[in-house]
Amino acid sequence: MKIYAVVMAGGVGSRFWPRSKEKTPKQLLKIFGENTMIQDTVKRLKGIVDDENIYIITNKIQKAGILTQLPYLPIENIIEEPFGRNTAACIGLASVIIQHKDPDAVTLVLPADHIIEGKKEFHDTLLEAAEFADRGRGIITIGIPPTRPETGYGYIQIDEVGVLDHIFKVLTFAEKPNYATAVRFVDAGDFFWNSGMFIWRTDVIIDEINTYMPELYEGLIKIKEAIGTSDFQSVLANVYGKLKKISIDYGIMEKSKKVYLIKGHFSWSDVGSWETVYELSSKDEDGNTKVGNIYTDMVVDSYIYSPDKFTAVIGLDNLIVINEDDALLICKRDKSQDVKKVVDYLKYNKITDHI
């Protein structure tokens, strides 16, 4: 069994504005520690996936930054989407490219911007899932046992009669719930956080695409036939531009009868907002996280980031303050999911200098 990895790294991370921009999105930033998030994601694969079998799928704007940050990966493994078409097309494209190289490939599909602690447990989970997938038994997603009624994650319900010790048949997918529903999910005991990580044989996922998304399948076959030819880029651009924007969850996972969940017993966060960064960061005696030259007085439970400019905050609490050279964000911590509205506003009004 040879294991490949696809790291999805094309997002903008609009909830992390103003640090996250189109050219320097969240996954290319140092949010925690000395490495960027994508560097940590790839480093985390050491020991189970060889460098030559790690593929990054991104876009033209971000490709140069990724090549700079991951110089040890083969340049041909940095796949450039000509247009953003959501995760079903993104995963399908990577899958046919890998299948062209290795028809028997088992592939791990991972977002580029997750925080994971417990490398051994993470590796054990991936390897157990890969062995299950290699037997052609289905497509596997990693479910995280919930530790709180989180409204920022999707949930997956399982049949509690396991197929194997840690692998279970998936019954339903649930969108991000309100708080009362999240409490009910956690109390039920058979719901898990949807991590957005998948493991499968490439031939199995391509067959499922053929069954549930035949138009995407037809496009992928045209692209696959052009791999290695001088027409590849033109065929890719022509076909890809006509594909529907749809997620792998909507397109395949919620319809397929072959979906299984493996429990991920490691510390995980998708770092979906500045509030999550605050929760994961070390804090001073006032409950503040301060990055940069910062003065505070009567400030509690806040995240303040200002590495290049002196910033003073007085008499406020539960804040997010992100002070960049070209933009300043101030918001209540419990409104950090709404930061993407700023990016929407800037795009709508064509204020492109700040995005």
Q: Which CATH number goes with the domain that contains 246? A: 3.90.550.10
Judgement on whether residues 265 and 288 belong to the same structural domain of the protein: no
Give me the pLDDT at residue 16, please: 93
Confidence of residue 106 (pLDDT cuts 50, 70, 90): very high
Better-predicted residue by pLDDT, 316 or 272: 316
Is residue 236 located within the same domain as residue 177?
Answer: yes
Based on the fold, state whether residues 85 and 151 are members of the same structural domain: yes
**Looking up tokens 């309100």, which residue turns up?**
178
Convert the pLDDT of each residue in 133-163 to its tens digit.
999 779 999 999 999 999 889 999 999 887 7
Q: Are residues 204 and 253 in the same domain?
A: yes
Class of residue 283 by CB neighbours under 10 A (exposed 0-12, middle 13-18, buried 19+): middle
Shared domain for 296 and 187, answered yes or no, is no
- Say whether both 278 and 173 belong to one domain: no
Nearest to 302 by CA among 326, 286, 324, 323: 286
Q: Both 95 and 58 in a single domain?
A: yes
* Strand partners of residue 323: 328
> Which of these three, 269, 298, 328, is where a domain ends?
269
pLDDT at 255: 95
Considering the domain architecture, whether residues 164 and 305 belong to the same structural domain is answered as no
Residues 53 and 124 in one domain: yes
Domain limits for position 340 = 274-354
Q: What does the pLDDT look like over 274-320, one tens digit per residue? A: 999 999 999 999 999 999 999 999 999 999 999 999 999 999 999 99
Same domain, 313 and 213: no
Among 269, 303, 338, the domain-final residue is 269
The predicted-structure confidence for 178-236, as pLDDT tens digits, reads as follows 999 999 999 999 999 999 999 999 999 999 999 999 999 999 999 999 999 999 999 99
Structural domains counted in the chain:
2
Residue 217 neighbours by CB under 8 Å, 6+ apart:
92, 206, 209, 210
On whether both 147 and 289 belong to a single domain, the answer is no
pLDDT the model gives residue 23: 86
Query: Tens digit of pLDDT for each residue in 65-91?
Result: 999 999 999 999 999 999 999 999 999
pLDDT band at 17 (very low <50, low <70, confident <90, very high): very high
Q: Does residue 353 carry a pLDDT above 90?
A: no
Instruction: Return d(Cα 4, Cα 104) in angstroms, integer.
Output: 10
pLDDT single digits (tens) 21-51? 988 899 999 999 899 999 999 999 999 999 9
**Single-letter code of the amino acid located at 43:** K
Statement: residue 165 has pLDDT above 80: no
Separation between Cα atoms, residue 291 and residue 294, nearest integer Å: 7
User: Both 38 and 162 in a single domain?
Assistant: yes
- Which residue type is seen at 120? K
Cα distance between residue 205 and residue 6, in whole Å:
13
Q: Which of 238, 269, 300 is where one domain is finished?
A: 269
Residue 266 scores a pLDDT above 80: yes
